Chain A
Amino acid sequence: MDRVNENLNTVNQPIYKKDAMALVTGQPVYTDDIAPSECLIVKVLRSPHAHALIHTISTEAAKKVPGIACILTYEDVPHKRFTMAGQTYPEPSPYDRYILDRRLRFVGDAVAIVAGKNEKAVDKALKKIKVTYEVLEPVLDFHKSKDNPILVHPEEDWVALCDVGADNKRNLCCQGTEGSGDLDAVMAECEYVVEGTYHTKACQQAMMETFRTYTEMDAYGRLKVTSSTQIPFHVRRILSTALDIPKSRIRVCKPRIGGGFGAKQSVVTEVFPAIVTLKTGKPAKMIYTRYESQICSSPRHEMEVTVRVGADKNGIIQAIDMYTLSNAGAYGEHAPTTITLTSCKSIPLYGKARAYRFTYEAVYTNTMGAGAYRGYGATQGIFAVESAVNELAVKMNMDPVRLREINMVQEGQVMPAYYGEICGSCALDRCMAKAREMMDWDAKYPARDMGNGKVRAVGVAMAMQGSSISNVDVASATIKLNDNGFYSLSIGASDMGTGCDTILAQMAAEELRCPVEEIAVHGVDTDISPYDSGSYASSTTYLTGRAVVKACRELKEKIDQYSREHPGLTLKEIGNECMCNNNIALEVTATNSSPVSPPPFMVGMAEVEVDTETGSVEVLDFVGVVDCGTPINPNLARVQAEGGIVQGIGMALYENIQFNGKGQMLNNSFMQYKIPSRQDIGKIRVEFESSYEPQGPFGAKSIGEIVINTSSPAIAHAIYNATGKRFHELPITPEKIVMGE
C-alpha cells in the first residue's frame, strides 16, 4: 500500500465502537439471547476416565425420559475423521477425531449426546445412560509420551493431511528441525552461553461468554448454524466433513461474540447441536457451562522450551538454539503450528545472530487437547528466550536494557528464523527508549529494599508477533454504494469484541472520505459475506484492512466511471439514480492475501513488590510500549494492549491447569482457576511508538496477540531481581518464591 496522506479523518481516531450502545445497554445480541425458545437443549455425557474404551452403552432407559428427543452414541455418528482446528484447508492439524468415538482419550471426552426439551429432562437422561468402560492406562506426562507403548491414537484411519512429521504410532503430533548458519560452530565461538528449560502451562482462555452454538433447519432445508466463533467459513467446512453432508447444505452466521482470544478458533460446540438438528429436524442449542469450558475446550499448549543463547565478548548475540516439547493433549488441534511459532516469533528479535537451530516435537497425551490461545506459541517461546537473555545480562554484568539495545532487530535486517522475511518496519528501539523513560528504569534497576520485608524490583522483555499468515490467509471485503450515498461494508472477518467491524469501517470511511456513520457494517454470514479465513493470527487489521482499502479504491473508480457517464451528479444523486436504468454495479468485492506477515513489536517492563516472607507478588506497575504500526483506533488498540498485558499477568502469577494422577482436572471452575481481578492489577500504562508498515493499510500492523507476550518474562525477571531466584516454570506462585522451584 502506498503511504497515504497523513491528513487522516477517521483512521487513527478514537471512534466509538459501532456496537457500543447495544452492548452497554445489554441488548440481546449474543448467541443464547437470539436462540429460538423452542431449541432442544443439547448436552454431552463425558468420560470419567482419561483413557478407556466403551465396552457397552445402553441408552434405552434414558430415551424413555419424557421430553428426550434424541440420544446419540458413537454408533450413530459418521465415521469420518476430522479436526476441530479452524485453519485453512488442508489443515496442518491431524484428522484425529469423530464427533463421538468408542475410544475416550481424556477425562471429559464426549461419550454420548443427549437432546431434550428442557435441561431437567436432559440431566435426568444423562444419568440413565448405562456405560461400561474398559479402562486403559493413560499416558499423562508429556515427557513420557513419545514412543510410549500406550497410544492415544492407535486407529488406522488417523490421518495427517500435511507433512508435519506426525506419526500416531509414536504419539507424535508433529516434529521437525530447521535452522540457518552453522549453529554448533558459531555457538562454540561464543564467549558467553546460557541455557535453560522453561515450562509454561496450559492456561485457559476464560472468555466470559463460554462456547455456544444453536442450529436450525432453514426454509430451504439447509442447516443454519449460529455460533460464537472466530471462523465461520472454517466452521462450514469442518461441519461438512464431520457430519458428512455437502458444504452447500450449511450456512454459518456469527452474532456478537463475548470474547474469543483464539479459543473460538476451534470448533468446540458446533458439531453437537448440528448433528442433533440434522437427526431431528428441530432447532437445538448447546451452551457450555464454565466447567465444560475449563475441562474440554481449547487452552494454550503446555510447553517446555529449552533454549541456549550464545553471545560474543561484546555481548552481541550470535547463536540461538531451541528445542520445544509441546503437549498437544488428546487431540492435535493447532499443535503443529503453535509449536513452530515458539522459535519463529522469538529468535528474530535478535537481529544480529548468525545462526539458529530449532527442533520440535508435539506429543499426544490423555489430557484435554489444546488450541489457539492469543500468542499462539510465540508467548511460550518469548518467555524462554527473554528469560535466557536476562540471564545472559547477569552473566555479562550488563544492563539487560543495554544488552537488548545492542542486539535488537532493526528495519532492513533479514530475519532468517522468520521465513527469511526482511523487517520492513520496526520501532523497537523507540519502544525501548520510551519504556525505559516511563519506568524510570535507570533509577529503579535492579531492586530496592523497602526495609519492611518487601523488595521492589523491575524487569524487562521484548516481543514480536506476526500480522496474518503469509501466503495462506485470505481476507475479503465487499463495499457497495446505496441510496442517498451511504455505503454497506460486508466482511468475512469475525468481530469477537475487539472492534474489527469498527476499525474496518474507519478505513472505509477514510478511503471514501465520508463520516464513519455512513458505513453500515455487516458481520459474517457465510451465504452473504465474502470469503475470509477468519479472525485469528493477528490478521484482521492488516489483511482484511488491506482488502477494505482495495475494495474502496475500486469502488471509487466505478463511481467515477458512473459520474463520467452521468455528469453533474452529487454522490447522493448517484446513489439514488443508479437504482434506475443502470448497467454499472456500484459494488466491489476485493480479496487479499499477503506474501509477508509484518511483525508488530513491543517492550514490556514490570515493577513488582515481593514480600520476601510470604512470597506474595504485587505488580505495581506495568509499562507496555507497542509498535503496531499506525493504530487505526488508538482507544481500541490501547484496550487490546491493557487486556493482553493483564491476561499475561494472570499467566505469570496464577493461571495453572493441573491434573491429578487420574487425569482429572483440578482447576475446573473460576474458584480453582484464578484469573486476574481488578484488585490484582496495579498501574498498567500503555504507549505507542509507531513505525509505518509499507504493506499495511495506512501503515498498520497487528495488535491483538503481541500484547500478551511480555508479561511473564518481564515479571519473572523482576521477581529474580527482587529475590535472586530464577524461575523457569509458570505460574510463579508465592509457594515457589518461598520454597524455590
Chain B
Amino acid sequence: MLVKMWINGEAIRDHIDPDMLLLDFVRRHGCASVKRGCETSNCGLCTVMLEGKPILSCSMLAARAEGMHVMTLEGIQEEAREFGSFMAGQGADQCGFCNPGFIMNVLAMIRELTDPTEEEIKEYLEGNLCRCSGFVSQLRSIMEYLKYKKGEQDGSGK
C-alpha cells in the first residue's frame, strides 16, 4: 500500500506492506537513531514524536501515521547536541544504544512539563530503560540541563 507522511519535515511517499511498523519505516528512511530493544513495548528505545507527542514506534503501524509528522533525533540534531553534551559531561552516554529514545522523551518532557521535580521526571521517563547507566547519571544530566535552560531564560547564562 502507499503511505505518505513527513519525516523530520521531509515529505515521504513509499509503498509498504500493511503490517509494517513505524519503527521499521523510519529506519528504512534514513533514521537509524531509532532502535529496537524489545518486542513488548517495554524499553522505549524506539521513541519518536508523532505530531509532537512521544510514542513508541514499535507499537504503531506505519500506515497509521499517514499524513502525519514524525520527528526522530535526526530532525532535532541541535537540541540533541545541546542536551547530549550534558549527558557526555556526566559520562551518562555509556553504550549509547538507549540514548536516542531517551533523549527524544526528555525533549518531549521538557516541552510538556515546566520545572519538573525529580519524581515527575522519573515518572515521565519510566518507560525508557537503560541497562548501562543505572539511571542516576541520566538524572544528573537532566537536572543540570534544566538549570542551564532556566539560566538561559533568565538571561543569566550557564
Contacts and interface: CB of A to CB of B under 8 A. Distances in A.
User: Do A and B assemble together?
Assistant: yes
Interface of A: 14, 16-17, 19-30, 33, 120, 205-210, 256-261, 289-291, 496-499, 633, 635-636, 638-639, 642-647, 669-671, 675-679, 681, 684
Contacts of B125: 678
Contacts of A14: 89, 91
Contacts of B85: 16, 20-21, 24
B108 interface: no
B40 A671 contact: yes
Interface in B129-150: 129-139
Nearest to B103: A24
B72 interface: yes
Tell which of A19, A208, A210 has the most Cβ of chain B within 10 Å.
A208
Contact of B129 (A28, A29, A208, A671): A208
A636 B90 CA distance: 8
9 contacts: A24-B80, A28-B33, A208-B45, A258-B98, A289-B39, A636-B91, A643-B132, A644-B134, A677-B129
A729 B118 CA distance: 33
B86 to A, nearest CB: 9
Nearest to B87: A24
B131 A208 contact: yes
Nearest to A672: B40
- 10 tightest Cβ-Cβ pairs between the two chains A and B: A497-B95, A26-B33, A24-B84, A23-B96, A258-B97, A646-B134, A635-B91, A20-B88, A670-B42, A28-B32
B72 to A, nearest CB: 7
Contacts of B103: 24, 26
Contacts of B133: 639, 642-643
Contacts of A499: 91, 94
B54 interface: no
Contacts of B132: 207-208, 259, 497-498, 639, 643
Given A26-B80, A678-B125, A678-B126, A669 B38 contact: yes
Interface in B67-81: 72-74, 77, 80-81
B74 to A, nearest CB: 7
Given A208-B95, A643-B134, 5 more contacts: A24-B84, A28-B33, A207-B97, A678-B126, A678-B139
A207 B77 CA distance: 25
Contact of B126 (A206, A670, A679): A679
B81 A30 contact: no
Nearest to B17: A120
Contacts of B123: 679
Contacts of B97: 30, 207-209, 258-259, 497
Nearest to B119: A679
Contacts of B74: 26
Nearest to A287: B36
Name A's interface SS: loop
A498 B128 CA distance: 19
Interface in B33-83: 33-35, 37-40, 42-43, 45, 72-74, 77, 80-81, 83
B110 to A, nearest CB: 15
B92 interface: yes
Contacts of B93: 17, 19-20, 23-24
B32 A681 contact: no
B99 A26 contact: yes
A257 B40 contact: no
B136 A496 contact: no
A203 to B, nearest CB: 12
Contacts of A16: 85, 88-89, 91
B37 to A, nearest CB: 5
A45 to B, nearest CB: 18
Contacts of B98: 208, 258
A624 to B, nearest CB: 10
Contacts of A679: 122-123, 126
Contacts of B35: 30, 208-209, 258
Contacts of B139: 678
Contacts of B17: 120
B84 A21 contact: yes
Contact of A209 (B39, B90, B92, B95): B95
B131 A647 contact: yes
Contacts of B45: 208
A685 B77 CA distance: 32
B94 A639 contact: yes
Given A208-B45, A675-B129, A670 B38 contact: yes
A17 B129 contact: no
Contact of A643 (B73, B94, B127): B94
